Structure formats: structure tokens, C-alpha cells
Amino acid sequence: MHEACWKTTHCKRRRTSSQKMRLLSFLLVTGCLLRVGWCLMDGTQFSEFFKPRCFTPVKDNRHLKMGQMLPAGFTISSFLDKLQLLEQKLAERTGGNPLNAIDMAVYVLRTFYHNDYDWENLGIKDNVPRLRSVVHNVMNVEMANLKERPYSPAEVLDDQQRKDDDLCFIMFSLAHNVNRTIVRPDRFDTYSAIDEDDITKRPREEGVLSVTGRKEGAVVALGRTLMGIAATHRDLQPKSVKDVVKVLSPGAGEVASDGSLNPLYAATLGSVVAGASLALKPQELKTMGIKGQWLEHGCFLEYKLDQDTNTSATLAEINGAVDGLILGTAMNKFPDIRNWNLSTVLRMYYGPRGIVTTSPSQALSHCRRHDLFNAINNNELREQVQNFAVTLAYMGLVATGDKETVAKERASRAINVVKEKIGGMDRDASNPEVCPSSMNENQPECETPTDLLVVLDTSTDIIDYETKRDLQSEILAMITKWVKLQPGISTVSLFASKRNSDVLRDIISKSAAAGCPGCAALYLRDLNDISAVGSDSDQDVFNMLNNVVSKHVSPMDERPGVASRVVVYLNLRKKAKGGVNGNQRQVEEALNKFRVAHPGNGAVICTVKSEKKSLRKVDTR
């Protein structure tokens, strides 16, 4: 069984010494402000841990996709599935006591959040000395909450068969980076095309997740959101600009500023916007908030930016920073949220209803990002971004003139750009299917626990035919994006039928990762260990499916209300005479057997058929 999946390219970026100095300076300020310790992985440690797992093009004679045998699409749903697994494993190690949202955010950041790494001689290298450590160390005060030695994720995720897949998926979900095409494309398989104008030649943004699983939907750099949550630790206090500069740059001279730096703002929009304001030329500020698009419809592996850029302050990164500021502010205002599981906080915030604190109309939700951002004290936001920029100016990012005046002017222009673009960042806000326009608290959302069982068309003329293979992937993505999957409640299982077999091949079992099925449909040829390619007649599939459904046990079966079982059988082959593939009488007998054993709601199936004209009815029970 496999549950996570992706494809790897290797990149090398050239930076000028001044660019490296700018980047190092604002990251050093962030580290000092958040009381960073040097206890987390530096670039060398990151390379030693993740390179052999995630950055090799081939493992066990099989090509990897972003470090995984079978890739999982980069969606919030898939990430939450892995995060909840990690939470459960950590709780088992700590005597059943789960980490709260803040502690879990720190654990995940210190383990997977490696930003802005470079490739040199096909090896991972920090952009500048100590850069990796400064970015990745959020605040050492949190370490006490994780006992003397936090558990390594390799120790916690003890499923040997899928451990590396899960580790690489989480790492690539959080490690935000803007990569170019590999310097030596002849050395590795990549997605890049020959045509320079092709979208595949544009910069690829990593560490980006689709919020809803819709290709045109919103994206977020979730690592920055976790930074905001982690920065709300009660032991963190504001520091003056003078103190920060004195610690990091004793020779900077007299600092005139009387401003202070708030950890929450510094971890989110402060570092993102202030850093971009001084690293970019004034005419380049318009590239902040640059958008992109997913290359694939059914399996989100690569997110390509619309154009080249010199800043990591992309649409996704700013979305993540804004979300981190919103959630961090809420945790300070509503202390109960601090004690929730991190997966619960994120699942609710990125869900249609959001986190209800006072009333449904005021819920904390990505659907209301624009309104929630506008509700933040504008004067405080602008002051904090300016103070961060002033700190960077004294660290050397402004070489001449009145450092404070220059820094404040450039930071102010940058925050204006963000405020102008923030309205266009809510791609889902106007979609009523994703973000309902109104919520009735007396009418709770219908969330019937559902076990979705999908049988793929694994015939060779489908698997080896790109158009139909992509179509099957897109159909699966369309179905799963509307199912609210959650471990132990609603899951999806994926099966393949193989000719001359008496059982359906189990590809994915009871997964809550909505991004997996669409990816599995694209990469069945890679599953040599379970021999997934081939097809049986329809009647054989129905007979085997009958056994699968009979033996299927849902985690919800023993609770009040029985989980709904939805079976989807995909057959994209050319219709044989009689309307089905196989002997008509034998197919009818197989369907009758299935109908008796599992009497479904015929009215519902008929309704689905009448509304979705493209679906062909096989059975109405």
C-alpha cells in the first residue's frame, strides 16, 4: 500500500553577494527577535536527513516523484492527513498526551521547515553560512515543551513501507522555495519541456498547498502560517530595535529608533514584507504577490509562477503570512484555541465554516481572509513592518543616507502593494460551493461519515493512453475534493482489478488524503510490486467488489450512525456490444448478487444520474 507521492527536480540559483547579505540580515533579525537557539538542523543536517530520502531521482530502480514512490497531490487535505498521523504517533510517545497547536507547530517547523535552500554540485547548500539555522529555528524557548529531546519523525513514523513517502511529502509541503529549471537537465528526469515559452520552464514554487483541491482555487504557503502560530508562545516578548541591532551588529553605531518588534508580526508579514521592500528595487515591488497555476488537473505536483521573480514574497507566501497573523491574533484573543490540536485548528480554518468564536458571521476562515486582514489594526501593522525594515537598515541593508527614513518609506510602499493585492488573493471567497455566503447555526452542516471505495480502470489501453489516463485522474480529483475526508471518519480506498485474479488489488486503503487518488491514477505503472495494471471483465469486477464491500469495516461502524459506503467503478474503455464489457447475462447476475447483498438507495442514484447527464447508469440499487 502507498499513501504519498511526487517528482523531484534539482535547482541551482545564482545570487549576488549583496542579495545574500540582505537575506541573511533580515533572517538574523527574525532569529534574534524570536530568541532562536541553534538546536535545529542546519543545511548539512537537512541534507543528510532528507537528501537520500527525497532528492534522489531513483530509489529501488523506480523513479521518485518529489521523493515518493506514489505521489500525493499537494492539498491541505493530504497535509492534514499526514499531520494528524504525526500527532497521533507523538501522543503515543508521550503517554497519550497530544501536543497543543503551538507546540506542534514548533515541532513541525523545526523538523521540516527548510526555506530557500540552493543546489550546488548537486548537493544541498545554504545560501549563506548559518542561513538555514536562522530560518528554521523558530524559538528555542519552545523546546522545553518537547522534553529533553524531541522525537525524530523517522522514529515516530514507524510504518517502514510508507515512512519515507510521508516524510518527503511533509517536507515538500512546508519547505518554501522558488526554484528554476535544473542546471543539468540531462542528469535527471524533470517536468521541464524544451520550449522556453512553455509554462514548465517558469519558476516552480515549492512549499505550496492547494486549499480546496481545485486547480483554479486558492493556494497557501502553510509554513508561514505555522510561524504565526508558533510565535504566540507566552514567553515571547517584544524587543526594541536598539536591543536587536546591538546583539546582532555591535558595530552598527548609534541606533536612533525607539521602535519595538512584536514576535507575531515579525514571524509573519514583518519579515516577508520588510525583507522584500529592501531586497527589491522600487520598480520591482509589483512582483510581490505573484500568482501561479498547477500544471496538473487531477494530481497537484507542480505549482508554476506566472513569471520570473526576485522575491519569495509570492501570493502563497503572503497568504500564509496573513493567515498566520490572523490565527496568531486569535490565539492571543481566544486562549481556548491554543489548547486544540494543530490539525483541528487548520482543518476548521481552511474549511467552509471556519472557527466560530462569537458568531458564524464572524468566523475565522480563509473564506474571510480579506475582511479579517482589514480588521487588523492598520497603524500597528504598518508600524511593525516599518520597524522591522528599520532594523534591517541598521543591519546594513540601507548603505547610505538616513537609514530610518529610507527604510520606512520603502516598507510603506511595500505594505501598500500588499493591501492593494490582498483582495485578489481570495480566489475561493466568491465561490459559494467552497465558501457559502451565509451560515445558519441552527442548521448544522451535513457531514455523513463516508467510506468512498473506488475501482480504477486499469486496462492497458487506459493506463498507457495519456488522454484517458489524465481523464481518470481528473474524475477522481473532482469526486474527492467535495468529500470532507478525515482520518477515522471519512476515508477513500482505491482498488485496481488485474486480469486472472480473484481479488481487487489494494492501492490505497482508508486514506483521508484527497490528493492521493488522482495521483495514483497517473502512476499505476510504477506499482510493480502489486501488479496493478490489467483488467477483468465487468462481471468479475462486480463479483470481487461484492466481497470487498462485505468485508469492509469502517471505523464508524461501532458508533451511532453507520458510515455511508459509496462505490465508484470507473470504466473508460470503449463500450462493447450490449452496453457493457462482457457477457450481458453474466453482468446482470453479478449485479443482482451485489444488489441483494448491498441494497443501496435507488432514488439517490437515479437523482444523481438525472442531474449529471455524463454519467452512465450501471445499476440503480
Identity at 546, one-letter amino acid code: N
Cβ(385)–Cβ(313) below 8 Å? no
78-97 per-position pLDDT tens digit = 899 889 888 988 888 877 78
Q: Are strands 260-261 and 123-125 parallel, antiparallel or unpaired?
A: unpaired
Cβ(351)–Cβ(374) below 8 Å? no
Spatial distance between the Cα atoms of 471 and 261, rounded to a whole number of angstroms: 51
Give me the pLDDT at residue 342, please: 97
Give me the pLDDT at residue 385, please: 94
Q: pLDDT grade, residue 257 (50/70/90)?
A: confident
309-363 per-position pLDDT tens digit = 778 889 999 999 999 999 999 999 999 999 999 999 999 999 888 898 877 778 8
Q: How many residues does the chain have?
A: 621
Q: Which of 65-79, 179-193, 585-599 shows the lowest per-residue confidence on average (mean pLDDT)? A: 179-193
462-505 per-position pLDDT tens digit = 778 888 888 888 888 888 777 777 777 778 888 876 655 556 66
Spatial distance between the Cα atoms of 170 and 4, rounded to a whole number of angstroms: 10
Give me the pLDDT at residue 208, please: 94
Q: pLDDT grade, residue 442 (50/70/90)?
A: low
Cβ(556)–Cβ(491) below 8 Å? no
- Residue 579 reports pLDDT greater than 60: no
Helices H / strands E in the chain, number of each: 22, 18
Give the predicted TM-score (pTM) of the model: 0.78
**What is the pLDDT averaged over residues 504-522?**
76
- Residue 173 reports pLDDT greater than 70: yes
Cβ(109)–Cβ(46) below 8 Å? no
C-alpha cell at 434: 467552497
Q: pLDDT grade, residue 568 (50/70/90)?
A: confident
> Comparing C-alpha atoms, which of 187, 140, 180 is closest to residue 34?
140
Cβ(89)–Cβ(22) below 8 Å? no
Comparing 151 with 231, which gets the higher pLDDT?
Answer: 231
Give me the pLDDT at residue 127, please: 38
Phi then psi for 287, rounded to 5 degrees? -80, -10
Burial of 226 by CB count in 10 Å (0-12 exposed, 13-18 middle, 19+ buried)?
A: buried
Identity at 151, one-letter amino acid code: Y
Identity at 547, one-letter amino acid code: N
Q: Which of 98-112, 241-255, 324-338 tops mean pLDDT?
A: 324-338
For the chain, the C-alpha Rg in angstroms (whole number) is 25
Spatial distance between the Cα atoms of 341 and 104, rounded to a whole number of angstroms: 8
Give me the pLDDT at residue 196, please: 47
Q: From start to end of 428-525, where are the E strands? A: 450-456, 491-496, 505-511
- Domains (ranges, CATH) in the chain? 11-425 (no CATH), 450-611 (3.40.50.410)
Q: pLDDT grade, residue 597 (50/70/90)?
A: low
Q: pLDDT grade, residue 424 (50/70/90)?
A: low
Comparing 11 with 271, which gets the higher pLDDT?
Answer: 271
> Comparing C-alpha atoms, which of 300, 305, 304 is closest to residue 6?
300
* % residues pLDDT > 90 (the chain): 16
Contacts of 365 (CB under 8 A, 6+ apart): 349, 350, 351, 352, 353, 354, 355, 435
Comparing 607 with 261, which gets the higher pLDDT?
Answer: 261
Q: Which of 133-142, 200-209, 480-489 shows the lowest per-residue confidence on average (mean pLDDT)? A: 133-142
Q: pLDDT grade, residue 249 (50/70/90)?
A: confident
